[in-house]
Chain A
Amino acid sequence: MKTFSMGGVHPEENKLSAGCPIRQAALPKQAVFSMFQHIGAPAVPVVKKGDVVKVGTLLGEANGFVSAPIYSSVSGKVSKVDVALDASDTRRMAVYVDVEGDEWEDSIDRSTDLVKLSDRPELDSKAIIDKVKAAGIVGMGGATFPCHVKLCPPPGQKAECVIINAVECEPYLTADHSLMLEHAAEILVGVKLIMKAVNVQKGYIGIENNKPDAIRLMKETAAEYPDIEIVPLKVQYPQGGEKQLIDAVIGRQVPAPPAIPINVGAVVQNVGTAFAIYEAVMKNKPLISRVITVTGKSLKNPSNLMARLGTPFSQLIDECGGLPADTGKIIGGGPMMGKALISTDIPMTKGSSGLLIMNDKEARRAKVEPCIRCAKCVGACPMGLEPYLLSTLSSQHVWDRAEAEGITSCIECGSCAFTCPSHRPLLDNIRLGKTTVMGIIRSRAAAAKS
């Protein structure tokens, strides 16, 4: 069975909520929409206090090409436009909406009938991309990169295939898994739309083989689309990384940055993104809700919830049995790449793929011991870097050497820190080094320009 060629680890899977059907989460009393739910320029609020909004009303418009608009996921009245703590643990501009009823914009098709690409022959590449852009769709795997940017290859680059990331290699998370089980047909239409948008004839869907039911169902459903191939993959973290997935599925290696997947002819999208694209193009529904896995060993009722964006995490936790008494850490995302949250009042955003409640025992980091030069981190790094060295260079502020050693190639998957027998905070240091080196590179480029 295929997987990526270099490094990787296999953490305990802990897919507690696998097989749990997607439940509709209740409407929140107040929804908070951060204007910073994507990578790139934050959206600009276009509503003010007192405005009445419906589900699907534009709240913030995109500010530039690498940006995305934000739509209301609830109906009610805007109570204020002010800063709010968001999933990045910082305060950002946000729109607060007090929820009243559940009225939708008339333009949204709320029926559940499947619309196939053959039903809408008038759709061409530009129409699809415009729709995706207008719907505010971003990478739903958690990276939240505005989707339309990836659908517009830079001049001189040509996409050859679309690869759909249905790997869900993060332990605990089952949002994509449950989405595939319940919306396989819609996802496949979404994949066709992506293929049409970037004008390619071949699509792959990579699924790890710890989801045999999803592989089987997707294969059955995809039987009518000969140009879409379901690729079962060996379970290995971080297979969901764009570069690792391309390696695993088509065996091509993306060179070091600034090279991007399109340089090897691949366009990678998450399976959740494919579903969102289907809803945006075929149902005229902007990105207002998503599946989120709320899970944890001490949590009473781990579930997959279809929740409206802007719902506070505290409410989602309550729907799954309430916050356990022995909670040690609350993590937005999965345990490997997720981010510890400092409050449960934080609202969910477009990138919220999971909410993991770790108990006190799991959450605590082990005591840091000296590096014994075992090179386990080197073996685990999927990018072929030397994490122990990069970590040291970062903590000693040797930025030029860190750059030469390829620190900017780090995908921050955390395999090094996971595998370290001395429990060294390798990724903490490398992340600092990466951010600093990127800053140096940017300022150097700016200096060269002027």
Chain B
Amino acid sequence: MNVILIAVCVLGGIGLISAAVLFIASKKFAVWEDPRIKEVNEVLPQANCGGCGYPGCAGFAGACVKAAEDGSLSDLNCAPGGQAVMEKVAAILGLQASAAAPKVAVVRCQGTCDVRPHGVEFDGAHSCRIQNMTGMGETLCQYGCLGEGDCAAVCLFGAITVNPATRIAEVDESKCTGCGACAKTCPRGIIELRPQGPKGRKVVVLCNNKDKGALATKECKVSCIGCGKCVKTCDKFEAITLGTNLAHIDPDKCKLCRKCEEACPRGAIKAFNFPPRKPKVEEPVKEEGKA
């Protein structure tokens, strides 16, 4: 009986002392964390995609609370959560969410196997970044999609896949959250984040080829040759600018009239999500030189 009593007392004593030490330590070394961080974190999508530029959702929540102390959330955006989540975050922090247009990834290359022949075969490690380091890749276009799927590998939402028939990456707009992970990983910078547009409608130059016209024509049948016809067509809105032999449509200025799409002699401009046009006799795309 005595032995049991001693054991209870000793263990009880150790327990009490430990409790006292832990209590003091928890008070003395307490780290105060803004409870709002946890609240904000709870409304985030928990995709941990890193599209916001912070390490995961918890990091973003911390950044939101910090930004709230400075009074504005305008620099922060949770791409997968979209406007709805940002409004919730703003409500927790007692602020107004700035209106951010939801974005979607666009693969600016239409160089499928039939319009951009694969002259050689790359049999190294299957990675776009590795293939890009070796030079041109399998085709003669050094700007086009390599089709090894680095973008698909980093997409957490299964929104981008490489079509095995065309060997071009394709975006499923219904799944894309616009986090930008694919755009960051693409070694050729083919993927562009563009505003979704009204009803998903947008007009984009689907080419990234910066070579001079003569060369670009040889490399791919649907390449932008920098002829500037689209720029002239768009003189009213001035939405199209010509970079290094490559046209670019500014989504903020584009009025979605689709005139440039008709004007492009190369079929390099594509309109997304428009209802089908009224049937019209189609002019075949002129083939200039052989690929």
B13 to chain A, nearest CB (A): 47
Decide if A342 touches B119 in the complex (CB within 8 Å): yes
Decide if B134 touches A432 in the complex (CB within 8 Å): no
Closest B residue to A330 by CB, please name it: B120
Counting CB contacts under 8 A, is B124 at the interface? Answer: yes
Counting CB contacts under 8 A, is B115 at the interface? Answer: no
- How many angstroms from the CA of A425 to the CA of B148 in the assembled complex? 15
Query: A-facing mask of B126-141, CB < 8 A → 1, else 0?
Result: 0101100111100010
Residues of A within 8 A of B130 (CB): 425, 428-429, 431-432
A400 to chain B, nearest CB (A): 14
Closest A residue to B135 by CB, please name it: A89
- How many angstroms from the CA of A339 to the CA of B125 in the assembled complex? 15
A214 to chain B, nearest CB (A): 33
List A residues 87-104 near B (Cβ within 8 Å): 88-91
Q: A91-B142, A429-B125 are in contact. Are A339 and B134 (CB under 8 A)?
A: yes
Counting CB contacts under 8 A, is B261 at the interface? Answer: no
Counting CB contacts under 8 A, is B170 at the interface? Answer: no
List A residues 397-450 near B (Cβ within 8 Å): 425, 428-429, 431-432, 435
Decide if B142 touches A432 in the complex (CB within 8 Å): no
Residues of B within 8 A of A425 (CB): 124-125, 130
Residues of A within 8 A of B215 (CB): 83, 91
Give the secondary structure class of A's interface.
mixed
Q: A339-B134, A429-B130, A432-B133 are in contact. Are A90 and B142 (CB under 8 A)?
A: yes
Closest B residue to A339 by CB, please name it: B134
Residues of B within 8 A of A431 (CB): 130, 133
Residues of A within 8 A of B120 (CB): 340, 342
Decide if A90 touches B135 in the complex (CB within 8 Å): yes
B202 to chain A, nearest CB (A): 31
Residues of A within 8 A of B123 (CB): 364-365
Decide if B133 touches A342 in the complex (CB within 8 Å): no
- State which size class the interface on A falls in: 10 to 19
- How many angstroms from the CA of A425 to the CA of B123 in the assembled complex? 10
Counting CB contacts under 8 A, is B211 at the interface? Answer: yes
Decide if B142 touches A435 in the complex (CB within 8 Å): no
Decide if A88 touches B127 in the complex (CB within 8 Å): no
Residues of A within 8 A of B127 (CB): 395, 428-429, 432
List B residues 173-198 near A (Cβ within 8 Å): none
- How many angstroms from the CA of A83 to the CA of B124 in the assembled complex? 27
List B residues 67-85 near A (Cβ within 8 Å): none
B106 to chain A, nearest CB (A): 24
Decide if B135 touches A88 in the complex (CB within 8 Å): yes
Query: B-facing mask of A52-96, CB < 8 A → 1, else 0?
Result: 000000000000000000000000000000010100111100000
- How many angstroms from the CA of A89 to the CA of B138 in the assembled complex? 10
Residues of B within 8 A of A342 (CB): 119-120, 135-136, 140
Decide if B125 touches A428 in the complex (CB within 8 Å): yes
A112 to chain B, nearest CB (A): 39
Closest A residue to B187 by CB, please name it: A432
Closest A residue to B122 by CB, please name it: A340
Decide if A90 touches B136 in the complex (CB within 8 Å): yes
- How many angstroms from the CA of A132 to the CA of B60 in the assembled complex? 57
A24 to chain B, nearest CB (A): 30
Decide if B124 touches A365 in the complex (CB within 8 Å): yes
- How many angstroms from the CA of A230 to the CA of B123 in the assembled complex? 41
Residues of A within 8 A of B211 (CB): 83, 91
Closest B residue to A85 by CB, please name it: B136
Residues of A within 8 A of B134 (CB): 89, 339-340
Q: Which of B125, B136, B215 has the most A CB atoms < 10 Å from its CB?
A: B125
A86 to chain B, nearest CB (A): 9
Q: Which of A342, A365, A395 has the most B CB atoms < 10 Å from its CB?
A: A342
- How many angstroms from the CA of A89 to the CA of B119 in the assembled complex? 13
A191 to chain B, nearest CB (A): 35
- How many angstroms from the CA of A339 to the CA of B134 in the assembled complex? 8
Closest B residue to A435 by CB, please name it: B133
- How many angstroms from the CA of A246 to the CA of B133 in the assembled complex? 30
Residues of A within 8 A of B135 (CB): 88-90, 339, 342
Residues of B within 8 A of A88 (CB): 135
Besides A83-B211, A83-B215, A88-B135, 7 more A-B contacts (Cβ < 8 Å) are: A339-B135, A342-B119, A365-B123, A425-B125, A425-B130, A431-B130, A432-B133
Could you give 17 example pairs across A and B, Cβ below 8 Å? A85-B136, A88-B135, A91-B136, A340-B120, A340-B134, A342-B120, A365-B123, A365-B124, A395-B127, A425-B130, A428-B124, A428-B125, A428-B130, A429-B125, A432-B127, A432-B130, A435-B133
Residues of B in contact with A (beta carbons under 8 Å apart): 119-120, 123-125, 127, 129-130, 133-136, 140, 142, 211, 215
10 closest Cβ contacts across the A-B interface? A89-B135, A425-B125, A428-B125, A90-B135, A342-B120, A428-B124, A428-B130, A365-B123, A89-B136, A432-B130
